[in-house]
Amino acid sequence: MKNRRFRLSRQLRTDITGYAFLLPNFAGCLTFTIIPILCSLVFSFTDWEYTRGFGNWNFVGLKNYIDMWTDEWFLASLKNTLLYTASVVPVTILLALILSVLIDKYCIGKLPMRLAMLMPYFSSTVAVAIVWVMMYSSFGPVTQLVKWIGVENPPKWLADYHWALPAVILVTIWSTVGFAMMIYTSAIQGLPTELYEAADIDGASELDKFFKLTVPFLSPTTFYLLITNIISSFQVFTTIQVMTGGGPGNSTSVMVSYIYRSAFGYYKMGYASAMAWILFLMIFLVTLIQWNGQKRWVGY
Amino acid sequence: MNRTKRTGFDTALKRRFGRDYKAKIVFTVLIGAIALTMTVPILWMLSASMKKALDVTKLPIDWIPDYFYPDNYVEVWNIGGKARRNYHFALAYFNSLKVTLTCVAGAVLTSTMTGYAFAKIKFRGRNVLFLLYLATMMIPSQITIIPKFVIFDALKLVGSHKTLILPGIFSITGTFLMRQCFMQIPDEIRESARVDGASEFRTWLQVMVPMAKSSMASLAIIIFLWTWNDYLNPLVFLPNWRLQTIPLALNSFVSEAGTEYHLMMAAASSALIPMFVMFIIGQKQLIKGITAGAVKG
């Protein structure tokens, strides 16, 4: 009788074990993710500047969210982010698709090729950015190549208002194409060979097979790559910060670099938080499209 | 005679490379050229890191220098030691290794525990908590960095490696990855261990963890890559140069060194070493890992 009263019920014991396992990670997740998220939401409705000290703020409603649409730097950063994403993502995915199919089908010595293309992805981002700054300098291989083709006065790439963003875009494509290619490669290896054999018997050409079998079969992979690449392009920071610092002027300033500058350069915590939430909304939108699109857009 | 010899060569090629060997050879050359182009920046970096200062800017580019000058590396690794500068390459390397390895060990441990709880233990509130985790996955880290700075500043932690380590040892992505892995292990295995009298903790440690080794390795590799590469967090939290990690040290080196291109390239090459070691050790796990964690850049 006494024994029974002091024994915990089975479910309660399971609960305790479960939470004990969860506790370390959850405590961290709470302190460094969930609470900061809530704080950030609160900050975004205030005019808080860090130099005034914690708690010394006024709630200003949606002012931050309205003001940013007349902020020239924010608009430029938003435009650059979208432009960057719109160029990096399609080119990367298309290149990766073509390369992975060609390598899988026609290449002798597949592994060394794949590893060579994957190498940029496994290089330290900052180190690679620095190498590319040198590559674009007047004595670097890119400038030399352009001169060799016959352009007499090659642009000063990273120092040129119009060329800086394309130059950065090229670096990103270079460093991410190998990764997308690996994902495609593993998908290609799962394609059903019977269908290709049937197509061969029907006398289908290689191009027919590519457009009518390979492309539709790989559409889930394409979709996955599209979404993940868009999300990571929205968040680009390191490469641009190291290569151009957002300049010249605002020609390569992107969302995250402007958020960083507003928060830790000008200490406008409220305003910067509001911009970070706009970034979140953009990502959220893409994720929503993913969830809806997965059913309709993708499929065999 | 000549003709038969050629046909013989033809058949040999066909036997070796298949019916469409001509297309294969053409595409192999083509793709080989592309692959080579992809490695040009890395090769150029290695080549420049082995040259003397003046030869780096010499035109036309000398891809394979007549000499190798490893002193650049010696000099880079001594930066900050003898000459007083606001960066110290070897120290930054040590800092990076310390932060990265601690984060990897911590994150793998906590994620394995949480993933197991979410996958196998039927405690109340599991689904709600899991949804909470799912929701936070979507939030970009740029949102949390401002409040994190405020919290660390209030705790007087800014300018300490704890600002990177404390958040780094908890991984939401890792929790997902490990939950996925434990879901695939049949419940019967856990139950039979429990029936044999093993506690939940012992079941986890001695039965489940050994079965999840490959996923743990993948997770370790992606966390390693993220932490080693992280630039924004150290930039915000580590104003003191003695605590700088490699990405920061590299950048301040470049902005202050001016024209010492040969040293910059030696520094950049050195920074790549751990990643290439990872690349060589765990190719298989690596690809699995990056596929799983692709969302977080």
A80-138 pLDDT, tens digit per residue, is 999 999 999 999 999 999 988 888 887 777 777 888 888 888 788 888 888 888 888 87
| Distance of residue B164 Cα from the nearest chain A Cα, in angstroms | 11
Q: Are residues A124 and A163 in the same domain?
A: yes
Q: Are residues A72 and A39 in the same domain?
A: no
Identify the DSSP state of A33: I
How far out from the chain centre does Cα A41 lie? 23
Name the residue range of residue A247's domain. 66-296
Report if residue A250 sits inside a domain.
yes
Report if residue B80 sits inside a domain.
no
B287 and A CB contact within 8 Å:
yes
Alpha-carbon span B133 to A33, nearest angstrom: 10
Can you give the pLDDT at residue B102? 93
Are A198 and A192 in contact by the 8 Å Cβ rule? The answer is no
Q: Are residues B257 and B125 in the same domain?
A: yes
Report if residue B24 sits inside a domain.
yes
Report if residue A198 sits inside a domain.
yes
Half-sphere exposure of A41 (CA within 13 A, CB side): 8
For B89-101, give one letter per residue: b (16+ CB within 10 A) or e.
bebbbebbeebbe
* pLDDT tier at A298, thresholds 50, 70, 90: low
Q: Are residues B44 and B102 in the same domain?
A: no
Residues of chain B with pLDDT under 70: 1-8, 13, 16-17, 19, 58-61, 80-86, 257-259, 284-297
Report if residue A149 sits inside a domain.
yes
In order of B225, B266, B273, the CA distances from B276 in angstroms are 10, 15, 5
Alpha-carbon span A136 to A170, nearest angstrom: 11
Identify the residue whose tokens are 């977080």. B296
Can you give the pLDDT at residue A70? 86
Alpha-carbon span B150 to A221, nearest angstrom: 40
Tokens linked to B82: 């003898």
Determine which of B26, B142, B172 to mutate to test the interface with A (most A C-beta atoms within 10 Å).
B142
Neighbours of A147 (CB within 10 A): 14
Q: Are residues A17 and A101 in the same domain?
A: no
Report if residue B75 sits inside a domain.
no
Q: Are residues A88 and A143 in the same domain?
A: yes
Summarize pLDDT for B30-82 with one digit per residue, the tens.
888 888 888 888 888 888 888 777 777 766 667 777 777 777 787 777 776 65
Alpha-carbon span B56 to B69, nearest angstrom: 12
Are A196 and A209 in contact by the 8 Å Cβ rule? The answer is yes
Can you give the pLDDT at residue B295? 40
Q: Are residues A37 and A152 in the same domain?
A: no
A279 three-state secondary structure: helix
Q: Are residues A25 and A81 in the same domain?
A: no
Q: Are residues A244 and A192 in the same domain?
A: yes
How far out from the chain centre does Cα B189 lie? 33
% of chain A with per-residue pLDDT over 90: 9
- Does pLDDT of A247 surpass 90? no
Whether B35 sits inside 8 A of A260 (CB atoms) is: no
Are A124 and B229 in contact by the 8 Å Cβ rule? The answer is yes
Determine which of B31, B129, B230 to mutate to test the interface with A (most A C-beta atoms within 10 Å).
B31
Angle formed at CA B4 by CA B3 and CA B8, multiple of 5 degrees: 120
Q: Are residues B44 and B96 in the same domain?
A: no
Report if residue A210 sits inside a domain.
yes
Can you give the pLDDT at residue B22? 76
Kindly state the average pLDDT of the residues A267-280. Answer: 89
Summarize pLDDT for A203-238 with one digit per residue, the tens.
888 888 888 888 888 888 888 888 888 888 888 888
Alpha-carbon span A187 to A52, nearest angstrom: 54
Whether B129 sits inside 8 A of A22 (CB atoms) is: yes
A59 three-state secondary structure: strand
Contacts of B32 in chain A (CB under 8 A): 113
Can you give the pLDDT at residue B37? 82
Residue A59, φ and ψ in degrees, nearest 5: -75, 130
Q: Are residues B37 and B171 in the same domain?
A: no
Alpha-carbon span B96 to B58, nearest angstrom: 34
Are A59 and A46 in contact by the 8 Å Cβ rule? The answer is yes
Q: Are residues B37 and B97 in the same domain?
A: no
Report if residue B68 sits inside a domain.
no
Report if residue A233 sits inside a domain.
yes
A95 and B CB contact within 8 Å:
no
Identify the DSSP state of A61: T
Number of H helices, E strands in chain B: 17, 0
Alpha-carbon span A68 to A74, nearest angstrom: 6
Which amino acid is residue B145, in one-letter code? I
Closest partner CB to B35 (pick from A15, A25, A113): A113
Can you give the pLDDT at residue B1? 43
Picking from B88, B105, B31, B43, the residue whose alpha carbon sits closest to that of residue B241 is B88
Can you give the pLDDT at residue A1? 42
Q: Which residue of A has its CA nearest to B124?
A: A15
Give pTM, 2 decimals: 0.83
* pLDDT tier at A300, thresholds 50, 70, 90: very low
Complex ipTM value: 0.79
Alpha-carbon span B85 to A268, nearest angstrom: 31
Total number of domains in chain B: 2
Whether B139 sits inside 8 A of A272 (CB atoms) is: no
Picking from A25, A42, A23, A43, the residue whose alpha carbon sits closest to that of residue A33 is A25
| Distance of residue B203 Cα from the nearest chain A Cα, in angstroms | 12
Q: What is the DSSP string of B56-106?
A: HS-SS--SS-SS--THHHHHHHHTTTSS--S--HHHHHHHHHHHHHHHHHH
A276 and B CB contact within 8 Å:
yes
Report if residue A267 sits inside a domain.
yes
What's the CATH code of the domain at B174? 1.10.3720.10
Residue B87's contacts (CB-CB under 8 Å, 6 or more residues apart) are B79, B80, B241, B244, B249, B252, B253, B256
Residue A101's contacts (CB-CB under 8 Å, 6 or more residues apart) are A184, A188, A210, A214
| Distance of residue B35 Cα from the nearest chain A Cα, in angstroms | 6
Identify the residue whose tokens are 């007087």. B156
Total number of domains in chain A: 2
The torsion defined by the Cα of A244, A139, B259 and A158, in degrees rounded to 10, comes to -10
Q: Are residues B263 and B117 in the same domain?
A: yes
Q: Are residues A218 and A271 in the same domain?
A: yes
Are A177 and A93 in contact by the 8 Å Cβ rule? The answer is no
Contacts of A103 in chain B (CB under 8 A): 31
Report if residue A111 sits inside a domain.
yes
Q: Are residues B169 and B32 in the same domain?
A: no
Rg (CA), chain A: 25
Can you give the pLDDT at residue B294? 46
Q: Are residues A229 and A278 in the same domain?
A: yes
Pick the range with the lowest mean pLDDT from A94-103, A143-152, A235-244: A143-152
Alpha-carbon span A87 to A195, nearest angstrom: 34
- Does pLDDT of A171 surpass 60? yes
In order of A35, A102, B154, B226, the CA distances from B148 in angstroms are 9, 46, 10, 18
Summarize pLDDT for A1-12 with one digit per residue, the tens.
445 555 678 788
Neighbours of B137 (CB within 10 A): 14
Summarize pLDDT for A57-87 with one digit per residue, the tens.
778 888 888 888 988 888 999 999 999 999 9
Tokens linked to A166: 């394309």
Residue B70's contacts (CB-CB under 8 Å, 6 or more residues apart) are B50
Report if residue B189 sits inside a domain.
yes
Q: Are residues A34 and A164 in the same domain?
A: no
Which amino acid is residue A38, in one-letter code? L
Are B272 and A123 in contact by the 8 Å Cβ rule? The answer is yes
Are B24 and A106 in contact by the 8 Å Cβ rule? The answer is yes
Q: Are residues A138 and A255 in the same domain?
A: yes
First to last CA, chain A: 63
Q: Are residues A20 and A144 in the same domain?
A: no
Name the residue range of residue B270's domain. 89-292
